[in-house]
């Protein structure tokens, strides 16, 4: 057991104040479903923990005509099961429901979910494995190693660790934004700009400063929300991380032509991935098995397979095509 200091503010302002004076390496604790694991493994060794789960202002769900607003402290289970969310954004509900067991969903927060760290076994299993994300400059054991579950998109010569989350993939498909609070006040940024690819510095996973806190997630209202789905393919049906996943939302006109089209990819990239090229292949045309297949192929056109993960390209193509079929059926109800 490593000693660390602990503080539990009850307001956002007090949280930012605590973060400003905290020592380097301080971590924010919300539901704890990621941080606790990493501390037990010795991957995270924070000198201080700032617990935000008591901040009532963060625990909100507001479904409005123009946007869905989620407090960063809202529990995954509460958002996934909210009747208005399930009706207007079924894909969003599915991305949360399929992400984890009920026990985890009861504890995990939607804000914390966005910042969960990779499940790469080389990162999590200790110093015997070189990992640039854990130990900069040590190398990447996954490159040239056992890479069955590693990224096909967004990797670099220093890291191919997959972003493990589901919720963020659906959010980028819906053009969600996040509100962030820090010493300079509040700022808003597109969720698509939150996560960064590893490049030469795999330790940098997002653009937030150490003294900034996500306070809310805002999802614009869109007709494509009702015609949405999150399809997740995994090694077992009960809760596991994705081999491939597709977040799809679309609209169809009376003749069956695609209007809005939104496609995100999960389980296959180093960050939540928007497949804009795939979207463009469908807009204005009819949704058929053939056009859905072509969209899937466009989504994975830039994939870079390693030793063991090449099979997930074809699996990913089929996942996108199947998700488009499901979304198309919902869009015509």
Q: What is the pLDDT of residues 285-305, one digit of tens each?
A: 999 999 999 999 999 999 999
Task: Write down the pLDDT at residue 333.
Answer: 76
Long-range contacts of range 182-186, CB-CB < 8 Å, 24 or more positions apart? 182/16, 182/209, 182/211, 182/212, 182/213, 183/16, 183/20, 183/211, 186/215
Q: Is the pLDDT of residue 196 over 90?
A: yes
What 3-state class would DSSP assign to 68?
strand
Alpha-carbon separation of residue 202 from 45, 46, 168, 199, 213 (angstroms): 18, 19, 19, 6, 21
What is the Cβ-side half-sphere exposure of residue 79, based on CA atoms within 13 angstroms?
36
Q: Where are the beta strands (DSSP E) in 173-307?
A: 177-182, 185-190, 213-220, 228-233, 244-252, 258-266, 273-274
Query: What whole-number distance in Å separates Cα of residue 322 and Cα of residue 333?
Result: 17
CA angle 135–34–47, rounded 5-degree value: 60
Question: Given pLDDT bands bounded at 50, 70 and 90, which one contains residue 124?
Answer: very high
Which whole number is the average pLDDT over 84-109? 93
Query: What whole-number distance in Å separates Cα of residue 225 and Cα of residue 305?
Result: 32
Q: Is the pLDDT of residue 122 over 80?
A: yes
Task: Write down the pLDDT at residue 218.
Answer: 97
CA angle 111–116–120, rounded 5-degree value: 165
Q: Is the pLDDT of residue 129 over 80?
A: yes
From the list 12, 9, 8, the residue with the least C-alpha distance to 181 is: 12
Q: Is the pLDDT of residue 239 over 90?
A: no
Which whole number is the average pLDDT over 104-119? 94
Q: Is the pLDDT of residue 256 over 90?
A: no
Q: Is the pLDDT of residue 254 over 90?
A: no
**pTM of the shown model:** 0.94
Which whole number is the average pLDDT over 251-258? 92
């Amino acid at each position: 057991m490593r000693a660390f200091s602990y503080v539990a503010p009850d307001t956002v302002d007090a949280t930012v104040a605590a973060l400003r004076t905290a020592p380097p390496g301080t971590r924010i604790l919300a539901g704890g479903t990621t941080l606790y694991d990493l501390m037990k493994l010795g991957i995270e060794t924070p000198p201080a923990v700032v617990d935000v789960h008591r901040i009532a202002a963060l625990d909100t769900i507001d479904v409005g005509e123009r946007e869905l607003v989620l407090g960063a402290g809202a529990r995954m289970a509460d958002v996934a099961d909210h009747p208005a969310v399930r009706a207007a954004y079924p894909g969003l509900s599915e991305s949360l429901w399929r992400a984890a067991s009920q026990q985890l969903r009861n504890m995990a927060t939607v804000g914390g979910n966005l910042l969960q760290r990779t499940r790469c076994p080389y990162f999590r299993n200790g110093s015997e494995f070189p990992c640039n994300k854990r130990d900069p400059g040590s190398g990447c054991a996954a490159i040239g190693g056992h890479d069955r579950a590693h990224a096909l998109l967004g990797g670099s010569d220093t890291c191919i660790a997959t972003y493990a989350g589901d919720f963020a993939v659906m959010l980028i498909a819906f053009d969600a934004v996040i509100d962030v609070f820090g010493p300079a006040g509040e700022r808003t940024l597109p969720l698509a700009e939150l996560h960064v690819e590893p490049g030469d510095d795999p330790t940098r996973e997002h653009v937030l400063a150490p003294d900034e806190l996500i306070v809310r997630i805002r999802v614009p209202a869109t007709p494509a929300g009702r015609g949405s789905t999150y399809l997740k393919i995994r090694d077992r049906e009960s809760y596991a991380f994705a081999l491939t996943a597709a977040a799809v939302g679309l609209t169809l006109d009376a003749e069956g032509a695609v209007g809005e089209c939104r496609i995100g990819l999960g389980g296959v990239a180093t960050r939540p991935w928007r497949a804009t090229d795939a979207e463009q292949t469908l807009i204005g045309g009819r949704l058929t098995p053939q056009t859905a297949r072509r969209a899937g192929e466009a989504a994975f056109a830039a994939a870079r397979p390693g030793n063991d993960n090449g099979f997930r390209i074809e699996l990913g193509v089929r996942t996108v095509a199947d998700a488009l079929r499901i979304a198309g059926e919902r869009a015509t109800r």
